[in-house]
Amino acid sequence: MDKFKAMETFVRIVEAGSLSGAAGRLGTSLAAVVRSLAALERSLGVRLLNRTTRRIALTEEGREYLERCRRILAEVEEADAALSDRRLRPSGRLAITAPVMFGRLHVAPVLTEFLVAHPEMRADLLLVDRVMDLLEEGLDLAVRIGALPDSSLVAKPVGSCRRVLCASPDFVAAHREQLRQPDGAQPLKAVHFAGLDSGHEWTFARGGPPVRIPLAEVFSTNHVDAALEACRKGLGCGRFLSYQVRDDLAAGRLLRLWPEWEPEAVPVQLVFPHSRLLSVRVRAFVDWAEPRLTARLGDESIQAGVGSLSTPKV
């Protein structure tokens, strides 16, 4: 058995999500992939994948072995690249995930520019408002917003954003007295974007005990565009991340409430496996994207950060 080839086959099976998909990526037959995986499992004396007619899933041993295989394959690729010009001309396919709206506003433009500048590259951009497992999903890179739990991943900060409470001018005018300052005495009519907050209350603090405000949810959705539209229509207050309401604040379609009570800014980060695992193409994109996303988020903070817009007179 060619152990190196078998390791590569195993990684491709996981990335493709099926044995037949791996065969297509490797340009070989399904039977050859099946034989290679079986021989690898026999040589290791463990099962790496649990297989049914519909799906495959990594065993605990398979998960550990996958990470080691990826490290070895990446190091071999880097060793080859050191003796060629691939470091200057990255090639291959890049798989990236990002939150839906942030990806549309910021990641997609940066990625498009990268592909124009590197014509031998291809990319898959998956926009979802949930955290995806990079190894299990076969992804190279993620853009994540917020503090990260301890993990084996590397996080490279590119900026920050804030949780911003907003309402339409009509809503502010109609609820002027209640919106003078946070007060937990009565529920607040709210448009609830479930992708940002869970539960049925919002918490605000300004150097003292937090104020918990119960929500009278008029509209709740897991889709940010739908929540923003409901907020613009005056259905209630909404809490969003600053980049999500940047244009609405600038145009006056929404007003920002209680900026002095806003939580601390949350980081925006590029997240990827340990730098020893990085392929040439991933390293090239990280080096390209970091300064460009930082510049974009710098512009973001000017338009929607604390102090950039006056507190509405309520």
SS3 72: helix
What number of CA atoms fall less than 13 Å from residue 86's CA on the CB side? 16
Residue 181 maps to a domain: yes
Mean pLDDT of the 78-84 span: 69
| 153 and 276 together in one domain | yes
Residue 314 maps to a domain: no
Asked whether the predicted pLDDT for residue 101 surpasses 80, the reply is yes
Asked whether the predicted pLDDT for residue 54 surpasses 90, the reply is no
| 100 and 169 together in one domain | no
At 216, which CATH number?
Answer: 3.40.190.290
Give the confidence band of 298 by pLDDT, cuts at 50, 70, 90: confident
Using CB atoms within 10 A of its CB, is residue 130 exposed (0-12), middle (13-18) or buried (19+)?
exposed
| 167 and 259 together in one domain | yes
| 255 and 278 together in one domain | no
Q: Which of 59, 82, 105 is the last residue of a domain?
A: 82
**Percentage of the chain surpassing pLDDT 70?**
90
Q: Domain residues for 201?
A: 163-263
| 257 and 170 together in one domain | yes
Contact (CB, 8 A) for 251 and 206: no
Asked whether the predicted pLDDT for residue 286 surpasses 50, the reply is yes
- What's the structural domain count of the chain? 3
Question: In the numeric block, which tokens belong to residue 80?
Answer: 């080859």
Asked whether the predicted pLDDT for residue 314 surpasses 50, the reply is no
Q: Per-residue pLDDT tens for 151-174?
A: 678 889 999 999 999 999 999 999
| 167 and 255 together in one domain | yes
| 169 and 247 together in one domain | yes
| 157 and 292 together in one domain | yes
SS3 64: helix
Residue 312 maps to a domain: no
The confidence score (pLDDT) of residue 83 equals: 62
Cα–Cα distances (Å) from 111 to 4, 40, 48, 170, 293, in that order, read 32, 37, 34, 39, 10
Q: Which of 44, 60, 82 is the last residue of a domain?
A: 82
What are the beta bridge partners of residue 47?
A: none
Residue 87 maps to a domain: no
- Most distant CA pair in the chain, distance: 76
Mean pLDDT of the chain: 85
The confidence score (pLDDT) of residue 182 equals: 85
| 67 and 216 together in one domain | no
| 98 and 67 together in one domain | no
Residue 103 maps to a domain: yes
Asked whether the predicted pLDDT for residue 194 surpasses 90, the reply is no
Give the confidence band of 90 by pLDDT, cuts at 50, 70, 90: confident
Question: In the numeric block, which tokens belong to residue 6?
Answer: 């078998």
Asked whether the predicted pLDDT for residue 53 surpasses 80, the reply is no
| 7 and 137 together in one domain | no
Q: Which of 82, 102, 132 is the last residue of a domain?
A: 82
At 46, which CATH number?
Answer: 1.10.10.10
Residue 313 maps to a domain: no
Residue 27 maps to a domain: yes
Asked whether the predicted pLDDT for residue 203 surpasses 80, the reply is yes
Q: Per-residue pLDDT tens for 13-49?
A: 998 888 988 999 899 999 999 999 999 999 999 999 9
Residue 310 maps to a domain: no
Which of 41, 51, 31 is CA-nearest to residue 10? 41
| 274 and 157 together in one domain | yes
Q: Per-residue pLDDT tens for 108-167?
A: 999 999 999 999 899 999 999 888 888 788 899 999 998 877 667 888 999 999 999 999
Residue 41 has phi, psi (to 5 degrees) of: -65, -40
DSSP 181-243: S--TTS-EEEEEETTT--SSEEEE-SSSS-EEEEEEEEEEES-HHHHHHHHHTTS-EEEEEHH
Distance between CA atoms of 235 and 240, rounded to whole angstroms?
A: 15
Contact (CB, 8 A) for 202 and 177: no
